[in-house]
Amino acid sequence: MIDDIDRAIINGLQGGFPICERPFAEAAARLALDEDELIGRLARLRADGVLTRFGPLFKPEALGGIAVLAAMAVPAERFDAVAATVNAFPEVAHNYAREHALNMWFVVAADSPEGAERALERIAEATGLEVLALPKTREYFLDLRIEA
Amino acid sequence: MTPDPIDLRIVEATQAGLPLVARPYHAIAERLGLAPDDVMARMARMQDLGAIRRIGAVPNHYRLGWRANGMTVWDVDDARVDALGERIGRLPFVSHCYLRPRRPPSWTYNLFAMVHGRDRAEATRQADLIRAELADACRAGEVLFSTMILKKTGLRIASAAAE
């Protein structure tokens, strides 16, 4: 369970974490907490899985990298085995089961479009399934902040 | 920006998270054999240039009660999709909104918008609001609900790029 202080931390600290010698002290002051308490609560929230991580969120395209969304129609009886095969690729950053004929959706991240293409080809080979590549053509909006 | 090898080492050292210690940037600098001021200056530059979108807590939607995560997808008139994509992206419940290629015959949708509700009814209402906003520019749409997270490690790009 999270309490009101956890909630204030999650809502107040999804961005704007300072870059300075004692950033937790500075962030804690904004939340009327002290440095040790903020660090302790973040460690607990991360250990409990309420936070998936605490740190910078990079934009791969700005670093010369690329992230490509891909979808596959996986036969139900092979779903778990295919998921294991796909997840074993280090290029696969996330993978979701979705309710649709195209029932597996994953993101491949690589250092170049060619690298992403090669990873997708290897996934198609390893699974024997068609991989539908849906790279973004344009980003209208991205803000993954969510309310606790 | 064009990151240099030192930037990429910093990316690699921080993409799974910052150390939760009083001086996290100093800890990263020590691990990489760099000066703390250099690490902080490079991260500030990456943030200024948009390579770092933000620094902070990355919550798990499910654990915060946002259990209905729907990928809404729409077949929108190409001539109007840019203006509409910007508008859909500004709706408060949309976390990302992208234009993607159609792959007919199996995939005919070009506009993607992720919505998040506490339950499916709420997410479905959000999809209905998008549908209303798109109006006659939209030929068809669907909501693909996620039923399971199979993997979520975040993007790991530098390990390949730094080699």
Kindly identify which residue of chain B lies nearest to residue A27, measuring between CA atoms. B56
Separation between Cα atoms, residue B154 and residue A46, nearest integer Å? 14
| Structural domain includes residue A127 | yes
Residue A65 sits in the same domain as residue A42:
no
> What domains appear along chain B, each with residue ranges and CATH number?
5-58 (1.10.10.10), 62-145 (3.30.70.920)
Closest CA–CA distance from residue A122 to any residue of chain B (Å): 16
| Closest approach of B52 to chain A, Cα-based (Å) | 4
CATH of the domain at A105: 3.30.70.3460
Q: A81 with A130, same domain? A: yes
- Chain A contact for B4, CB < 8 A? no
In the block, which residue shows the tokens 């990928």?
B71
Residue A147 lies in a domain: no
Per-chain mean pLDDT for chain A: 93
Considering the domain architecture, whether residues A30 and A66 belong to the same structural domain is answered as no
pLDDT higher than threshold 60 for residue B22:
yes
pLDDT, tens digit (0-9, with 9 covering 90-100), for A14-43: 999 999 999 999 999 999 999 999 999 999
Contacts of A9 in chain B (CB under 8 A): 57
Same domain, A68 and A129: yes
B5 → chain A, closest CA residue: A63
| B109 in contact with chain A, both atoms CB, cutoff 8 A | no
In this prediction, residue A12 has a pLDDT band, given cuts at 50, 70 and 90, of very high
Same domain, A129 and A92: yes
**A71 and A39 in a common domain:** no
Contacts of B89 in chain A (CB under 8 A): 140-141
Return the percentage of chain B with pLDDT > 90, whole number: 74
Residue with tokens 């999809």: B127
What SS3 state is found at A148?
Answer: coil
Asked if A31 and A24 count as a contact pair (C-beta separation under 8 A), the reply is no
Mean pLDDT score, B87-96:
92
The SS3 of residue B44 is: helix
Left (φ > 0), alpha (ψ -120 to 50) or beta: where does A108 sit? beta
Q: Hey, is the C-beta of B63 within 8 angstroms of any chain A C-beta? A: yes
- What count of Cα atoms within 13 Å lies in the side-chain half-sphere of residue B98? 16
CB contact under 8 A, A56 and B153: no
CA distance A43 to chain B (A): 7
pTM over 0.80: yes
Instruction: Label residue B1 by pLDDT band (50, 70, 90).
Output: confident
ipTM here? 0.81
| Chain B: residue whose CA lies nearest to A28 | B22
Q: Which residues of A touch B100 (CB under 8 A)?
A: 69, 134-137
With an 8 Å Cβ cutoff, is A91 touching chain B?
A: yes
* Residue A143 belongs to some domain of the structure: no
pLDDT tens profile B37-73:
999 999 999 999 999 999 999 988 888 888 898 999 9
A69 and A130 in a common domain: yes
How far apart are the two ends of chain B, measured CA to CA in Å?
A: 19
> Is A67 part of any domain?
yes
Give yes or no for residue B158 having a pLDDT over 50.
Answer: no
Condensed to tens digits (0 to 9), the pLDDT of residues B108-118 reads 999 999 999 99
C-alpha pair distances (Å), A128 with each of A68, A80, A82, A100, B78 = 19, 15, 10, 19, 33
**How many structural domains are present in chain A?**
2
Domain that holds residue A23: 4-47
Contact A56, B14 (CB under 8 A): yes
- Does residue A121 belong to any structural domain of this protein? yes
Q: What are phi and psi of A108, to 5 degrees?
A: -105, 125
A140 falls within a domain:
no
- Residue B156: predicted pLDDT: 63
Q: Which amino acid, residue A93?
A: A
